[in-house]
Amino acid sequence: MTYPADRPATWFVTGTSRGLGLELVRQLLDRGENVAATTRSTERLVGALAGTDTSRLLALPVDLADEAQVTQAVAAATDRFGGIDVVVNNAGYGFLAAVEEVSDAEARAMFDVQVFGVWNVLRAVLPGLRARRSGHVINVSSVLGLHSFPGWSLYTAGKFAVEAITEALAGEVAEHGISVTSVEPGYMRTDFLRPVSVGLPAATTDAYPAVRTLVAQHLDEIPGTQLGDPAKAAAAIIAVATTGEAPLHQLLGSDSLALAEGKIRSLADDLEASRALAVTTDVQAAEVV
């Protein structure tokens, strides 16, 4: 994709009333871009943008799990601005619990937003991007989409799914002139670990004291100490779109890099430990009929 130089670009961004999404919208408006911003509360979004010129903002109340609402939002953005150039799937929330503690309803609610919500947006925007033979899809994942940890099973399951969707999509739409990037931030100083943005299980068990310690650390100790600056992360996402030079996987934050490097080392160790048994399951040449 060549980022439009002769006109404001139009961005479609989900999850915009807090944190990274809000900061991204603010910076895009300050740049003079058009922004269609989805949120569960347009009042909260507009209120948070007090002092910012919102003449190029289209605030859209959308339940991302509702395909019809998503389709209508994309149509409204297209009608208002004439087309969409950059799509940022940013909506999501955290969830801290052991695997055994996650209920069916809690798991489905997470996937409705974090996986099916992304899929709803992609189905709605891709026909227009293909018709224009340009565009950039940026899926905001997490370094926890590459590396899971105890207590993070539900959140990371959703982010692992986003990574898979992103990789497949990149191969599918390259011939249509569409770029695709997965952005993988580390811990950022946002509301992500506050009660408004993190879920907890309805029921717990005393079988996982280490998970209870992890939850306490994330809710009581980590907030305010995260390395990531959401303003810098938003600027990095804009750079991903405007320069067109990002790899498929764009990590953000030194902690993200360190965790991803640890995952690579762990996976390499498993490859070597698996090698001897792995090769024994091939059909041998003499057995081939």
Does 134 qualify as catalytic in the annotation? no
**Is 232 tagged catalytic?**
no
The catalytic position among 159, 187, 208, 256 is 159
**How far apart are the C-alpha atoms of 38 and 91, rounded to whole Å?**
9
* Catalytic residue from among 17, 93, 155, 182: 155
List 17, 141, 153, 182, catalytic entry: 141
159 catalytically annotated: yes
Query: Which residues does the annotation mark as catalytic?
Result: 141, 155, 159
